[in-house]
Amino acid sequence: MGLAQNVVFGLVTGSYIAIAAIGFTLIYGIVNMINFAYGEYLTIGAFTGVLAAGALPLPLAALAAMVGGGVASLLLAWAFFTPINDTGPVPMLLTSIGLGLVLRNAIRIAAGQGARYYDTTTSTFHLRGLPDLSVGSVDLLGNFFVTSRMLVVVGCAVAVFLVLHALLTRTDIGIAMRAMGDDESLARVRGIDTQFVRNAVWVLAGVLAGLAGVLIGIQTNVNVTTGFSHILQILAAAILGGAGSPYGAIAGSYVIGLVVALSTAFLPSSMTGLSSAMAFLVLVVVLLVKPSGIAGTEVREA
């Protein structure tokens, strides 16, 4: 069992989750709600992408998916979430659960139950000849491989992080987002149009969800539950990282990705089916020990 190989896998999984978790956590920090319908935003992105991929080359199709995701997110927020902004996190959470149910089934009616696939080819690159560095039965290094698809995913994730960082530190809207995330009343006092910022966050989260949906769709397939099957991992990553902090979400995502990969590799073989339950276990432990997560964001306790 190669540690290096599994670390590579973990980083790839973490990258998918990170792109989505950033959007999720921004919604949490600025709109102040846990959006349980977020998985469906990924699914919408994945479907938009696969439909666009029929007519456009893949990168453009991905762009179309991102645009589609952003627009859908804004429309859904305008219809369902903005009107109840003042009711508090719990009603908004419950609304998002209802919305998720509605969207999943609407997509099922519209798209049917079969899976659709992207048409892609992948090349594999092996790195051989590396020393094994064995510790017991575990090879710290050893041979490993990466595929072109994995590189694309990690590349996209890194690009997203850089763009996001630039956005949050160098643009007005980004700085306004950070201000609102820290203290909404203070931001309003300073003249920031909070509803505008919230709308911007919805669009941004939708764009990220669209991209993540396309990447997951390429890796697996596009069907009704493409996004929904990952919502709990995204949630765990965001909370682990410190709810509301995009940088924390990135860190949290990679932790989750690594935990899932390493637990598959090293758990006793009768328990490998539990590897995604591991993500929840991590979540629960974090909530108990340090609810403020890696980034240490302030958590108003009950």
Site for other proteins in 112-171 (CB under 8 A): 113-115, 117, 122, 124, 126, 145, 147, 149
Q: How far is the CB of 172 from other proteins (least distance, A)?
A: 30
Q: Is 281 in the site for other proteins (CB under 8 A)?
A: yes
User: Diameter of the chain by CA atoms?
Assistant: 61
Residue selected from 193, 274, 290, 296 as contacting other proteins according to rule CB under 8 A: 274
Of 2 and 246, CB closest to other proteins:
2
Site for other proteins (CB under 8 A): which residue of 45, 49, 70, 100? 100
Q: How many residues bind other proteins (CB under 8 A)?
A: 82
Instruction: Name which position in 162, 284, 290, 296 contacts other proteins (CB under 8 A).
Output: 284
Beta carbons within 8 Å of 5's beta carbon, 6+ residues apart: 142, 143, 144, 145
Residues in a beta bridge with 145: 126
Closest CA to 47 of 136, 115, 139: 115
Span between the terminal Cα atoms of the chain, in Å: 45
Between 162 and 274, CB nearer to other proteins: 274
Q: Computed from CA positions of residues 209, 26, 40, 200, in that sequence, does the dihedral angle turn out positive or negative?
A: negative
Residue position matching structure tokens 């860190």: 251
Residue 126 and residue 171: Cα distance in Å, rounded? Answer: 41
In this complex, which beta carbon is closest to other proteins, that of residue 204 or of residue 261?
261
Contact residue for other proteins among 75, 83, 193, 196 (CB under 8 A): 83
Closer residue to other proteins in complex, CB, 12/204: 12
Look-up: residue for tokens 């998720």? 100
Question: Does 86 interact with other proteins (rule: CB under 8 A)?
Answer: yes
Window of 63-71, 89-97, 168-176, 247-255 that interacts with other proteins by CB under 8 A:
89-97
Phi-psi region of 114 (alpha: psi -120 to 50; beta: other; left: phi over 0): beta
Per-position x/- string for 250-269, each x denoting binding to other proteins as judged by CB under 8 A, each - no binding: ----------xxx-xx---x
Q: Considering beta carbons, is residue 190 or 290 the nearer one to other proteins?
A: 290
Which residue has 């637990």 as its token pair? 263
Return the number of the residue (166 or 277) whose C-beta is nearest other proteins.
277
Q: Of 43-51, 65-73, 156-164, 228-236, which part binds other proteins (CB under 8 A)?
A: 228-236
CA distance 258 to 9: 8
Nearest to 203 by CA among 98, 102, 15, 77: 77
Residue of 60, 94, 133, 162 that binds other proteins (CB under 8 A): 94
Report how far apart, in Å, the C-alpha atoms of 92 and of each of 57, 75, 206 are: 38, 16, 17
Quick check: 200 binds other proteins (CB under 8 A)?
no
